[in-house]
Amino acid sequence: MAGIEEQSVEIKLKTSRCQENNGPIILVVNACCSRDTKENVVGVCFVGQDLTGQKLVMNKYARIQGDFVGIVRSPSALIPPIFMIDEIGRCLEWNDAMQKLSGMKREEAIDRILVGEVFTLNSFGCRVKDHDTLTKLRILLNGITAGEDADKLLFGFFDRQGKFIEALLSANRRTDAEGRITGVLCFLHVPSPELQYALQVQRMSEQAAASSLNKLAYIRQEVRKPLKGIVLMQDLMGASDLSREQRQLLRTGVMCQEQLTKIVDDTDIESIEECYLEMNSGEFNLGEALEAVLNQVMIMSQERKVQVIQDLPAEVSSMHLYGDNLRLQQVLSDFLTNALLFTPAFEESSVTFRVISQKKHIGTKIHIVHLEFRITHPAPGIPEDLIQEMFHHSQGVSREGLGLYISQKLVKIMNGTVQYLREAERSSFIILVEFPLARYVDHH
């Protein structure tokens, strides 16, 4: 009324009882004088703006900020190391956990530029290993300040005692009530000593595994060279004038060489374990395949003084089947080798290799041959833990156990089964598979 005008005056008004919201209405008011024609003040005009909703949001935001600061600065061991920067990269927060981790006090970090003054290449801040580390941190923070989402960063620095600390850094944007980006909040995931030790062991294991893979790749590479020489010699021998017996010996050698080549090329063992390996399908003579199998164990049989007794009917030897003969050779030689390996060498000690076949008609032209391969050796037989490894893969599997496991899986891929039967005086591998008959001659 004295002519002095006021602006942006906050006025709180109580609501009437009939309204649901019993909270105050908050107005920001400008007061203007009403004057007559002679410029005398004759009244006051109020122009108000309702800011109730905005004020509630601001008050809530202020409370959250207050709670947040309380949490960040808590000395609790549950609160991770946290630091914060504003939009120009100046350090605004350096919490208790960060002080303990780095050895750098809060007052030393606050108001300094984080990249270059707090984390530095020099000794006056938290020293990092190299310029690349600072560059990665700067790119991360600049990206978040610009509104981008960021992945976690593996970040390392030296504490004041010179100990190198490696942690996973998570960075999130900070915004004001209007949604404007005002800076970045960072916290570190520092693994416990137990986890650090476990990670170190894991890294060592991974390095050892990588080293083993390199050695295996080297062995495969070196084996292929003499294999090529063997193939060449076999081709030259095959082109020369050989007797029937010599040609049969050459054929057995070729089948053993092809089996070796197949195994050397087995780089995807997982496909065998998961039973999705693709088998080859071609015509082969069963007698030739079994001859190749028996030749693979003859030297071992002589060394261990354990005789291999063959029980192969003539009709089995003359059969021509469709299937993967190299995989059949692989599994039969492995089971036969293990039977020999676990047969005690005593007088008249022997392993029996027996084949039983049964033809089955499908329609008028197709014949399926069911084959039972029975490899029998004296008690006590193969140790039970090795038989368990044949069916159940484990981390600490033995070399023999892994071989039996792979062979059992290969038989399964061929739609066959493997059993190990223990009896009082003897034990047997029983391998059941079936193949389509390629050539069938009816003698009736």
pLDDT in tens, 71-97: 667 777 778 899 999 999 999 999 998
Q: Between 440 and 386, whose confidence is greater?
A: 386
Q: What is the pTM of this model?
A: 0.55
Instruction: Tell me the mean pLDDT in the region 226-230.
Output: 90
pLDDT range class, residue 204, cuts 50, 70, 90 = confident
Q: What is the pLDDT at residue 268?
A: 79
243-300: per-residue pLDDT in tens?
A: 999 999 999 999 999 989 888 888 778 888 888 888 888 999 999 999 999 999 999 9
Evaluate if residue 325 carries a pLDDT over 50. yes
Please state, as a whole number, how many other Cβ atoms lie within 10 Å of the Cβ of residue 104.
20
Specify the residue for token string 């909703």.
Answer: 53
Instruction: Tell me the mean pLDDT in the region 211-237.
Output: 88
Instruction: Tell me the mean pLDDT in the region 368-372.
Output: 94
Instruction: Tell me the mean pLDDT in the region 99-128.
Output: 91
Instruction: Tell me the mean pLDDT in the region 172-178.
Output: 83
By mean pLDDT, which of 39-48, 186-195, 309-318 is the weakest? 186-195
Q: What is the pLDDT at residue 288?
A: 93
Evaluate if residue 211 carries a pLDDT over 80. yes
Q: What is the pLDDT at residue 61?
A: 56
Residue type at 1 in one-letter notation: M
Q: What is the pLDDT at residue 391?
A: 92
Evaluate if residue 443 carries a pLDDT over 60. no
Q: Between 55 and 334, whose confidence is greater?
A: 334
Instruction: Tell me the mean pLDDT in the region 171-181.
Output: 84
Backbone angles phi, psi at 2, to 5 degrees: -85, 0
Q: How far is CA 184 from CA 85, 90, 113, 129, 245, in A?
A: 5, 10, 13, 23, 84
Q: How far is CA 35 from CA 3, 32, 41, 53, 442, in A?
A: 9, 10, 4, 34, 128
Share of the chain above pLDDT 70, in %: 91
Say whether the peptide bond before residue 380 is cis (omega within 30 degrees of 0): yes
Q: What is the pLDDT at residue 405?
A: 93
Q: What is the pLDDT at residue 18?
A: 61
Domains and CATH numbers, the chain: 6-67 (no CATH), 75-190 (3.30.450.20), 279-436 (3.30.565.10)
Average pLDDT in the chain: 86
Q: What is the pLDDT at residue 440?
A: 52
Q: What is the pLDDT at residue 442?
A: 47
Evaluate if residue 68 carries a pLDDT over 70. no
Q: Three-class SS of residue 427? A: strand
Backbone angles phi, psi at 158, to 5 degrees: -100, 135
Output the CA angle 284-289-294, nearest 5 degrees. 175
